[in-house]
Amino acid sequence: MSMNLEEIKQYLKEYNGPELKIMEVCGSHTGAIARNGIPGLVSDRIRLISGPGCPVCVTPSSYIDRLIDLCLTPGVCVVTFGDLMRVPGSRMSLQQASGMGGRVKMVYSPMDVFPMAQREPETTFVFAAVGFETTAPVYALMVEQILEDHIENIRLLTALRTMPGIIDRLCAGGADIQGFLAPGHVAVVTGSKAFEPLAAKYSLPFGVAGFTGEQILTALCGIVKACERAKSGKDGGLVMNFYPSVVTREGNTEAQELVERYFGVSDAVWRGMGMVPASGRLLREEFAALDAGSRDLTEDHKINKACCCDKVLMGKMKPTQCPLFQKVCSPLRPQGACMVSTEGNCYTYYVNHRE
């Protein structure tokens, strides 16, 4: 007998077992949970924590600084998603650099850079290639097209991050988490199998979830049930797919192969967290000509010494517990990446008055 939405809500509201901390690692989940009012729908004993799920928030300041230098260079135009425009580097944001005469163009799709490059052959277009596994295949298609069409004036500055590495760091670092809401669109590409080694290693349940309120509640229900199951001695480590319309166990193998062809696994710096092994991807050496200098972007500076973004991203601190939250740090005057990005943990708490 399947549960309908009302039964799922009732189950979650009436849960009375040991306190469970469930972490989501996807900015879109952070936003969807807040926008649907989900924290208020589940029992007090279920705590929903936001982890490092926003690729913009975890990009080190040196990446932004490099983009700014590039956009202020004559003959160069930086092309980016809207997400990055307001993120502060060590001196300013791309938006501010644009105001100073820097050339920055905002697009919906990286593919939009091709007609631009064709119209202005004398300009070098650098695409700010940030993202997780969901977006990596898009960049792979880009590289493939650049090579096939012999395009000379497009480069990528990459900040590609991958999920398993950071989740491993979280769990290995002793984070007090009993279950994970796994990112649905990452899983479209990687397959739910990407989370199986972690589930086994740490005996934790992973629920791959979509992005509607209903889909998230369903996945939470599965995770809580799995936790209850673990209580009675059964193995708690398993991966459940609650987004079967687009997620399979294997994922999109064609996309995976394409990414593998052009990008190799690398260590990566996560803003405020330092170097995390095997948690990113870089253009392979043979494609170095297309790279605008992604390899040496490891430095990371806090805008404000008291910023606690690193702890917030690891789920160790709630945004409301950061000394700067609301008093000094707000979306209008962000002191850290978590407040800049509209999917950042602090931003979401702020605009939804979450406690």
Partner 1 sequence: MPETVRITMEHGSGGQATGELIGEIFAPAFRNEVLGQMEDSAVVSGSGRIAVTTDSFVVTPLVFRGGDIGRLCVCGTVNDLLMRGAVPRYLTCGFILEEGLEIELLRRIVRSLAETAAEAGVQIIAGDTKVIEGNGGLIINTTGVGSVPDGLDISAGNAGEGDAVLVSGTMGDHHAAILGERLQIESDIESDCAPLGEIVKGLLDGGIRVRTLRDVTRGGLGTVLKELAEASGKCFIIEEDAVPVSARVRDFCGLLGLDPLYMGNEGKLVAVVPREQAAEALEIMKNARYGSGAAVIGKVAGTGEGTEAGELLMRTQIGGVRRLTVLQGEGLPRIC
Partner 2 sequence: MCVAMPGRVLSVGERTALVDFSGNRVQARTGLVKIEPGDNVLVHAGCILQKVSDREMEEMNAVMREMDELL
- Which positions touch partner 1 (CB under 8 A)? 5, 9, 27-28, 34-41, 54-56, 81-83, 85-86, 106-109, 112, 130-132, 135, 213-214, 217, 330-332, 342-343, 347, 350-354
Residue 70 binds: one of partner 1, partner 2, none (C-beta under 5 to 8 A by kind):
none
Residue 335 CA to residue 333 CA, distance in Å, equals: 6
Decide if residue 225 touches partner 2 (CB under 8 A). Answer: yes
Minimum CB distance to partner 2 smaller for 102 or for 310 = 310
Decide if residue 54 touches partner 2 (CB under 8 A). Answer: yes
Residue 200 CA to residue 170 CA, distance in Å, equals: 15
Element spanning 47, H or E:
strand 46-50
Decide if residue 145 touches partner 2 (CB under 8 A). Answer: yes
Residue 92 CA to residue 189 CA, distance in Å, equals: 34
List binders of partner 2 among 316-345 (CB under 8 A): 343
Residue 16 CA to residue 18 CA, distance in Å, equals: 7
- 24 - beta bridge partners? 50, 181
251, exposed or middle or buried, with CB in 10 Å at 0-12, 13-18, 19+?
A: buried
- 158 - beta bridge partners? 129
Find the shortest distance in angstroms from Cβ 225 to partner 2.
Answer: 5
Residue 44 CA to residue 13 CA, distance in Å, equals: 8
Half-sphere exposure of 237 (CA within 13 A, CB side): 10
Residue 331 binds: one of partner 1, partner 2, none (C-beta under 5 to 8 A by kind):
partner 1
Minimum CB distance to partner 2 smaller for 32 or for 324 = 32
Find the shortest distance in angstroms from Cβ 39 to partner 2.
Answer: 19
C-alpha dist (Å) from residue 132 to 12, 27, 88, 183, 346: 30, 11, 20, 10, 20
b/e per residue 80-100 (b: at least 16 CB within 10 A): bbebbbbbbbeebbbbebbee
List binders of partner 2 among 256-285 (CB under 8 A): 258
Residue bearing tokens 């920055």: 104
List binders of partner 2 among 163-192 (CB under 8 A): 183-186, 188-189
Minimum CB distance to partner 2 smaller for 85 or for 324 = 85
Residue 265 binds: one of partner 1, partner 2, none (C-beta under 5 to 8 A by kind):
none
DSSP state of 105: E
Find the shortest distance in angstroms from Cβ 321 to partner 1.
Answer: 19
Decide: helix, strand or coil at residue 308: coil
Find the shortest distance in angstroms from Cβ 264 to partner 2.
Answer: 19
Residue 144 binds: one of partner 1, partner 2, none (C-beta under 5 to 8 A by kind):
partner 2
Q: Which of 15, 202, 242, 325 binds partner 2 (CB under 8 A)?
A: 242
| Contacts with partner 2, residue ranges (CB under 8 A) | 1-3, 26-29, 53-55, 81, 108-112, 131-132, 134-135, 137-138, 141, 144-145, 183-186, 188-189, 218, 221-222, 225-226, 228-229, 240-242, 244-246, 252, 254-255, 258, 343
